[in-house]
Amino acid sequence: MDPVLHDHLPFAPWTDPVTRKLPGTRPADAGDWAAVDEAYAGQMALRDRFLTEARDKVLALLPEGCAAADELLRLGLDHAATLPGFSRTANHLTRPDGVTIEVERDDPLGTLGHMFQQDLCILERGSTAHILTGAVLCFPSGWTLSEKIGRTLDRLHRPVPSYDDPMAKRVQRMFDGLKTGRPIWRANAHSAFTGDLFTPRREADPRPAHDGISPYLRSERQVLFRLPETGAIVFSILTIVIRRESLTPAQARALEEHPLKEI
């Protein structure tokens, strides 16, 4: 099967001094967490398949995350009504790609996974840090949901070398300070030797070795916002994979100055 690719990279984080550095956040618009772009139909076809055939690998929800997941579904249904291409009856939603899905209130993350091309993670404050209590993660990049569910922020980022103790404390302060109605976004980018969107890896597995220049670039546009009722943090991830030749000349020149890591 051919990979589902975007035809351009809307934002290249290596081109901006702010977003080149961790965590590199900027203010986001209220609706940025779930938008529709040119890869929507292709990505949604994959999401439908993963959620049907491999649900245990792409969705997890702890009991303590249920209230936040319910709130997020209500918010998602309201948000979809503002986006072009969505229409809804009482129990069904028709998407921009023409597919009609059932709105299952008792399966909030599953329903959201069939609605939006963004992966969605729910993090809630524990005694010392935020904990991943639920996620629909169809397009993992170098991590496995079953290893991360129920883990704290610092544990989620194991074994990322740059996520040291000072960075962990900085990110935790950012989560604690996030205000309702004031979302933020950041982006990352990596070179990639495959166009596949589903690229999990367990913590103990080594990074695959490759030679030569990678044919693809993979980027995640991540939006963080606080739910008003439960206070949970939602981490929305739009995954973009493009061929290197799809970069603009300015993006390509900047990439030569700021090379990316391979994944």
Report the C-alpha gap between 261 and 263 in whole angstroms.
7
| CA proximity to 195, closest of 211, 216, 221, 210 | 216
Distance from the first to the final alpha carbon of the chain:
21
Report the C-alpha gap between 242 and 256 in whole angstroms.
17
What number of other Cβ atoms are within 10 A of residue 214's Cβ?
Answer: 16
DSSP assignment of 186-243: EEEEEEES---S-B---TTSPPPP--S--SEEEEEEEEEEE-TTT--EEEEEEEEEEE
Q: Which amino acid is at 195?
A: G
C-alpha dihedral, 86 to 235 to 178 to 187, nearest 10°: -100
DSSP assignment of 58-87: HEEE-GGGHHHHHHHHHHHHHHHTTSTT-E
| CA proximity to 241, closest of 149, 139, 165 | 139
The predicted pLDDT at position 263 comes to: 42
Report the C-alpha gap between 77 and 114 in whole angstroms.
12
The predicted pLDDT at position 164 comes to: 67
The predicted pLDDT at position 169 comes to: 83
pLDDT digits (tens, 9 = 90+) for 206-239: 777 677 789 999 999 999 999 999 999 999 999 9
The predicted pLDDT at position 161 comes to: 59
Tokens representing 102 are 């059932």
CA-to-CA dists, residue 203 to 1, 101, 110, 167, 262, angstroms: 27, 35, 26, 19, 17
Collect the ranges in the chain with pLDDT lower than 50.
262-263
The predicted pLDDT at position 21 comes to: 84
Mapped onto helix, strand or coil, the DSSP state of residue 46 is helix
Tokens representing 134 are 């639920």
CA-to-CA dists, residue 46 to 22, 52, 259, angstroms: 30, 10, 30
| CA proximity to 14, closest of 251, 245, 241 | 251
- The residue written with tokens 């959201």 in the block is 112
